[in-house]
Structure 1
């Protein structure tokens, strides 16, 4: 690992720890986050972790850009992965069905698997939250196995229902609010992923782990899920 510091804005620096996305990156990212928060203290305005980078937004009235670089350098000295900080583990119930996940059958055809096997494989492993972005509470998770990987849609949908679960390349995610989107949709969760009344707003944070649990239609509705078919929303 050879960290690089890049300028993002007059009061923001980007710390690039890795060049490739990997599940093994996160323990290093969490360790760096802890060190940077300690080093910058009250002069840190925001710290945004992503797949391979950390954006450091600092108080320019309190620190010069040169001093900010010094603090970053000091924080990364003898950095070791944080193997203890694994974040929370969330279990998200999902109703996998073509009416709310129109690409479910297409993914099955693409992979040569039965629909039931696609569901079993997607819900059969634990995913890591790499980053939040695109929409409030939208957690980019991975990595899905190669057999389920699929490119984004050529033409994004204008409306994707809140709770929609999808796959793009080797990432998976659930839409926290209704929005446009181009991911391959395979189901829907009734879980409330973004809540203004929740501390931190988002249910998930980088470093958390997520497991999807297949449920039936009746349970989905009982849990408050909206079963309006996607084609009705379009």
Structure 2
């Protein structure tokens, strides 16, 4: 891990991947590292409103000890009728029913948020199920669209352009500024999908 100061009261800690970033952020929160905000990303963790020297001094403890599994758990009900469901089935060499079974049988974890408020990058797909993005992004993807790209799963919180493969849709409200915690799938949240019948 490498610590990069960002001004006087913040620093970025560079890590190997998104899973390591999520783990470091969860550990830092559990061990109550003094920072106004701790934000994981794909290969970094931002400690904002902190003493960078204190963060750097705490890293050996955070790297060595795990705080345990303390994230919330969410089940999302999905209509698996997305326009790219067949494309994913062909890529995986299986039927669309098997795509649904694999997707609902996978435990996902929100590793970080980005792209749009409430958009969580959900890790959990094994490498052999990685899928390519569309060659040309759609100009509009509907809110609630459940989509895959590479080894990620994500749900579009609002209508926006997007190049991920859409396999279904959910009615879950992913971002609500009026909620105490606006993002439904904050980093650390465990996510399971359930097929609507």
Please report the TM-score for the alignment, with normalisation by the length of structure 2. Answer: 0.89
1:72 aligns to 2:55 (yes or no):
yes
- 1:164-217 superposed Cα distances (whole Å, 9 cap, x missing partner): 00000000011111111111000000111111111121111111100000113x
Cα separation, 1, equivalents of 2:44 and 2:101: 32
The structure 2 residue matched to 1:30, chosen from 16, 26, 46, is 26
Distance 1:135 1:165 in 2: 14
Q: Which runs of 4+ in 1 moved over 4 A?
A: 8-11
CA distance in structure 2 between the aligned counterparts of 1:69 and 1:181, rounded to whole angstroms:
36
Equivalent-residue separation in structure 2 for 1:29 and 1:102 (angstroms):
35
Q: Is the 8 A contact 2:26 2:188 kept in 1?
A: yes
Structure 1: which 5+ residue stretches go unaligned? 60-67, 217-234
The reply on whether 1:119 has 2:100 as its aligned counterpart is: yes
Moved more, 204-213 or 49-58: 49-58
Indicate yes or no: 2:137 matched with 1:156: yes
* Deviation (angstroms), 1:53: 1.9
1:211 corresponds to 2:192: yes
Q: Deviations over 1:107-157 (max 9, x none)?
A: 111121011001100111110110011001001001213343211112111
| CA RMSD across the alignment | 2.1
Within 5 A, what are the aligned runs for 1:166-205?
166-205=147-186
Map 1:64-103 to 2 at 5 A: 68-79=51-62, 80-97=64-81, 101-103=82-84
Q: TM-score normalised to the size of structure 1?
A: 0.76
Does 1:39 pair with 2:34? yes
Q: How far apart are 1:10 and its partner, in Å?
A: 6.3
